[in-house]
Structure 1
Amino acid sequence: MPLITSIEELFQYTKQHLEGKQGNITINFANHPIVYSGNDIIGNSLQEWLPSWFTYLNVDIIPGTHTQEFPDFIANFNEKKYDVEVKAWNYNNGPAFDIANFHSFINQTYLSPSKLNAYFIILGYKPANDGFSKGFTVEKVYLKRIWEITNKSKKYPIGLQIKRDSPYAIRPCAFHRKESFKNREEFIEAIYEAFKMFPSPFLNFTAEEWKIQVQGY
């Protein structure tokens, strides 16, 4: 097993060894195991599995300080820390995973602007659908930055999940098929515009103050 010394090497090794691989999810209840054939649980299971893969590769990676906050993990290569998110989605459809809670993300990046540079390691899987086989195949492995998986939507400056007329989560675009934001600056501008649309009484700074804080970091 090679010594992995960077996030790019981790991605390349993961891509080389996981793309095209097949798997399945089983449930054993009352001593009766079956292969789970639904696909709603596959993405969550792969997101739980991937950190164990990193540990198997002897990568120094630990969960973030707060499990419900962005990002999921912190990796350490040559005494340099990297924020890392892991995601998975059904490659037959557009990505539907949550990137982060909208206002929580704004607060966290205001307090720590470096989190805007987090890396996303993403698995695109296809459930078996030939009527006989069960399980899934990992089609693609991606290494992305947040601006490379987001774009404006039809109604908002950035893709958002809206609940009760308020933004709940930042959502990805179909980055595997369509264009994303071109750079970090476009992403910051989109969050800024969305923050102006949806201010929060629980944050003690304005959209303008957030933008100044994170720009050029």
Structure 2
Amino acid sequence: MKITGEQLYKKLVDEYKIIGEKGVINFSLKNLTISVETKDTVGNLLQEWLKAWMMVEKVEFEENTNSQTFPDFHLDKENKKKGLLEVKTFDWDRGPGFDLANFDSYCNSLLESAYRVDSDYLIFAYQMKGSQITIKNVWFKKIWELSCPSGTYPIKVQEKKQVIYNLRPGVWYSARSRFKPFKTKEEFLSALNETRYQYPQTRHSNGHWLKNVLKNYEAHTGVSLIVK
């Protein structure tokens, strides 16, 4: 069954009713089974569970064989420019601390694969008590709906010792958040471009970056974006 990311989300949330459900994480070796209470395994396990669930539901997909590269799943096996799905998870009590993408890799990838900006993100928020996890919420978003400005740069990033490493999400689900998510992909691309101008390591090579990204996007999609 071939479905879009949004249809997958509705199937998971509205039909399967995953929100509020509980799971238990155990590990067995020979005759000893232990309860796993560390959170560093939860993200990978939820992604593995999602893969198994999609197989049971006969959802057509292709998993990325390299877990370190984008995306996690292709929902359109014929057209690899569409149906790109990233799966993210975070601890509900701590807030979203995951990476949206590596800053340099993402910016470079848009020069050749600008359609990546339209990728879908499926985000699971979980709460863990002992070895039991509860799915608190699930969202289906685009990258610009997760990303936001920050006090340092026009776009929120993870920066250490004045080196930008990753694009980071805001708290998109909270009305109290100081910085709100971008409303459009054009706003997102503009903020990314301005950040590249402000960031010393990309400032001098940024002259034609946005122009080339927009040109590549139109070549792949036939859509001309206007970014100020």
* Residue 140 (1) aligns with residue 137 (2): yes
What are the Cα deviations for residues 84-140 of structure 1, in whole angstroms up to 9, with x where unaligned?
100111112220011111100011111111000000011111112xxxx64111111
Q: Name the counterpart of 1:173.
A: 170
TM-score by length of 1: 0.84
The alpha carbon displacement at 1:164 in A equals: 3.6
Q: Name the counterpart of 1:156.
A: 153
Q: C-alpha root-mean-square deviation of aligned residues, in Å?
A: 2.4
Structure 2 CA distance for aligned equivalents of residues 36 and 21 of structure 1: 18
Q: Name the counterpart of 2:104.
A: 103
Code of the aligned partner of 1:48:
E
Q: Name the counterpart of 1:51.
A: 51
- Within 5 Å, give how 1:1-217 maps onto structure 2: 3=1, 5-16=3-14, 17=16, 18-64=18-64, 67-76=67-76, 81-128=82-129, 134-177=131-174, 178=177, 179-198=180-199, 206-215=205-214, 216=224
The alpha carbon displacement at 1:30 in A equals: 4.8
Code of the aligned partner of 2:117:
L
Is the CA contact (8 Å cut-off) linking 1:122 and 1:141 kept in structure 2?
Answer: yes
Taking structure 1 as reference, are residues 34 and 66 closer, same or farther at Cα in structure 2, changes over 3 Å only?
closer
The alpha carbon displacement at 1:78 in A equals: 8.6
Code of the aligned partner of 2:3:
T
What is the DSSP-based 3-state SS (H/G/I as helix, E as strand, rest coil) of the residue aligned with 2:86? strand
Taking structure 1 as reference, are residues 197 and 31 closer, same or farther at Cα in structure 2, changes over 3 Å only?
farther
Name structure 2 gaps, 5 residues minimum: 215-223
Moved more, 136-145 or 47-56: 47-56
The alpha carbon displacement at 1:32 in A equals: 1.3
Is the CA contact (8 Å cut-off) linking 1:14 and 1:141 kept in structure 2?
Answer: no
Structure 2 CA distance for aligned equivalents of residues 71 and 52 of structure 1: 17
What is the DSSP-based 3-state SS (H/G/I as helix, E as strand, rest coil) of the residue aligned with 1:14? helix
The alpha carbon displacement at 1:23 in A equals: 0.5
Structure 1 CA distance for aligned equivalents of residues 19 and 140 of structure 2: 13
The alpha carbon displacement at 1:42 in A equals: 1.8
What is the DSSP-based 3-state SS (H/G/I as helix, E as strand, rest coil) of the residue aligned with 1:161? strand
TM-score by length of 2: 0.81
Name structure 1 gaps, 5 residues minimum: none
The alpha carbon displacement at 1:45 in A equals: 2.2
The alpha carbon displacement at 1:39 in A equals: 2.6
The alpha carbon displacement at 1:151 in A equals: 0.3
Identity %: 31
Moved more, 54-63 or 100-109: 54-63
Taking structure 1 as reference, are residues 149 and 4 closer, same or farther at Cα in structure 2, changes over 3 Å only?
same
Is the CA contact (8 Å cut-off) linking 1:102 and 1:170 kept in structure 2?
Answer: yes
What is the DSSP-based 3-state SS (H/G/I as helix, E as strand, rest coil) of the residue aligned with 2:39? coil
Structure 2 CA distance for aligned equivalents of residues 39 and 96 of structure 1: 13
What is the DSSP-based 3-state SS (H/G/I as helix, E as strand, rest coil) of the residue aligned with 2:61? strand
The alpha carbon displacement at 1:144 in A equals: 0.2
Q: Name the counterpart of 2:220.
A: none
- Determine which structure has the larger strand proportion and give its number: 1
